[in-house]
Structure 1
């Protein structure tokens, strides 16, 4: 009974984490990342200033940051949901330590991750949207969701008793390496996407397949230096046009390489009857992500399309986590799987 209730709690936390990812993307794309110039409150209040008196106090306290109410609410709603995610992950840990046998390793790792995410959220504001922090915050959100998915799959297998069924599949060594490579390449591509967004390079190239300018002659590797010169604010970007073109082009080439590897992975997964659902999921999400990426270029980054591009990227990364877990579970002997489930 404890396992089944814990499973529902893990599922709730996983879905909540996806909501936080969507809200974070929406906050960034509506230029609300600095909607509140302080942290964790907003202009010195626990919520967005409401009354005229509070507005006067807010402007007096932060004269350099005029209050834009809808942007402030976007930022604060994201913070509230992120705080709720932290509470859910803390609850996962408390329940795991209350009942013997529940997994403890992954919940503890998740707790450390969400604390680090809170620090990144604070630095995003205090460092005025410094790109390396913004990108790290994005990767941290995806990592948190991926770890929650991994926990959900382990708990699900334990509840359904799958650990006692079947025998390890053979001749999957090549597929194991291909799935691991696909996960790594996709993670790098997500980081490139985050770097593109953090440096406001998403719309510098408006034509396909690469860019309308002589990007090869203008390519500048300094665009990828993680530590940029100090600025009062990094909002709207501080890099020059050539550097932004370099980032955008790198993201497009990364997308092509990622699509190729994931396409091969999807085909190889299809060869195994046990993994065909994952093959369909990888292929479908890949096709959707490519469509959203092209739409972002030709339609100049529509808000909901850009948010969807961010979400589908996260779902694709999570699907690859599930794929690697499924392949690993097929290859690991039964006894070892049982021990891993007990250890969490």
Structure 2
């Protein structure tokens, strides 16, 4: 099998894993199975009477929620298939003489670390730093696979575009800001702070005088028992949410300015199309963020917001790759 079709398939699988993870997390099914990698000691969700009897003996403190357990297991099944695809990519890369070797090796190591984070997410009962790290690991995996795809796919800008290449440092800054904003989104979600503010544009009440940044961004805070549904007080969650909103304003402003500069300076049709894609995704993503607030975090829109972040990230990586490597 050639590298390019395999990478396309793996990219689709990775996006599916990210979205299924978001759906599972937003459905409060992250602890649908209290063990790992199986579910109540089985390879599938226990549903038969004799299976439920075994569960009652082995996990007397738990009650099987079939719907949540299946969400968690489907996520694990897809993630397992993704792991096999990544390992096959590594195998193929060493079979093809001129294929990259280091990047597939890094991706393979990352997928193994992702599996460990998946286990810790359950065993540490949704500890926010672990949940956020698992989310960032998924986005990192998607990004590295995208870079590997770009490296193994012929991509040329005819005649080059030296004028727009001057924007490369600013494009890199925009990418860093976007990554930080995605991390803020992960911290918001893992601390159940998405509904801490229900007013626009920033938050309701005297939010400015109630910010608690030290408590809100203590990455390694601990509590007894599960972190499910969040353990931080309202002021801390509100601080996280407000920071994410401010980050969204800064990120959107920078990315829109980058897209505008690309449109007025680029002579390459490829870069122009990328700028329009960036603008379109930004408008959609901002609209989804507003809809999450106004409609109180409907599941479909919340998952779509995760997808929008992933597509924005891929677009920004493509723009940076084009400016730095191909112009």
Place the TM-score, normalised by the shorter chain, in its bin: over 0.9
Query: Which of 203, 227, 230 in structure 1 is aligned with 2:195?
Result: 203
Question: Does structure 1 conserve the Cα–Cα contact (< 8 Å) formed by 2:164 and 2:262?
Answer: no
Query: Which of 229, 236, 244 in structure 2 is aligned with 1:243?
Result: 236
Alignment of 1:187-198 (within 5 A): 187-198=179-190
What residue in structure 2 maps to residue 257 of structure 1?
250
1:84 shift after superposition: 0.6
Question: Does structure 2 conserve the Cα–Cα contact (< 8 Å) formed by 1:167 and 1:330?
Answer: no
Query: Which of 170, 178, 189 in structure 1 is aligned with 2:170?
Result: 178
Describe the superposition over 1:283-311 as per-residue Cα deviations: whole angstroms up to 9, x where unpaired. 01110000000000000000000000011
Q: Note the aligned Cα RMSD (angstroms).
A: 1.3
Cα distance in 2 for partners of 1:192, 1:63 equals: 37
What residue in structure 2 maps to residue 282 of structure 1?
278
What residue in structure 2 maps to residue 105 of structure 1?
102
1:278 shift after superposition: 0.6
1:215 equivalent in alignment to 2:207: yes
Once the two structures are overlaid, the 10-residue window that deviates more, 288-297 or 272-281, is 272-281
1:173 shift after superposition: 5.0
Cα distance in 1 for partners of 2:169, 2:160 equals: 17
1:310 equivalent in alignment to 2:306: yes
Question: Does structure 1 conserve the Cα–Cα contact (< 8 Å) formed by 2:165 and 2:324?
Answer: no
Alignment of 1:2-81 (within 5 A): 5-81=2-78
Describe the superposition over 1:79-130 as per-residue Cα deviations: whole angstroms up to 9, x where unpaired. 0100111100000011111221122121111101111110110000000000
1:14 shift after superposition: 0.6
TM-score by length of 1: 0.91
Alignment of 1:110-121 (within 5 A): 110-121=107-118
Cα distance in 2 for partners of 1:116, 1:193 equals: 21
Cα distance in 2 for partners of 1:54, 1:325 equals: 52
Alignment of 1:290-305 (within 5 A): 290-305=286-301
Cα distance in 2 for partners of 1:92, 1:136 equals: 24
Describe the superposition over 1:141-184 as per-residue Cα deviations: whole angstroms up to 9, x where unpaired. 01100111111111111xxxx46x74443244541111101110
What residue in structure 2 maps to residue 334 of structure 1?
none
Query: Which of 256, 262, 266 in structure 1 is aligned with 2:259?
Result: 266
Describe the superposition over 1:45-74 as per-residue Cα deviations: whole angstroms up to 9, x where unpaired. 011112111012112211222110010000
- Check 1:238–1:229 CA distance in 2 against 1; reply closer, same or farther (3 A cut): same
1:34 shift after superposition: 0.3
Cα distance in 2 for partners of 1:330, 1:149 equals: 15
Cα distance in 2 for partners of 1:169, 1:287 equals: 27
Aligned residue for 1:227, secondary structure, equals: coil
Question: Does structure 1 conserve the Cα–Cα contact (< 8 Å) formed by 2:36 and 2:122?
Answer: yes
Cα distance in 2 for partners of 1:33, 1:206 equals: 25
Aligned residue for 1:273, secondary structure, equals: coil
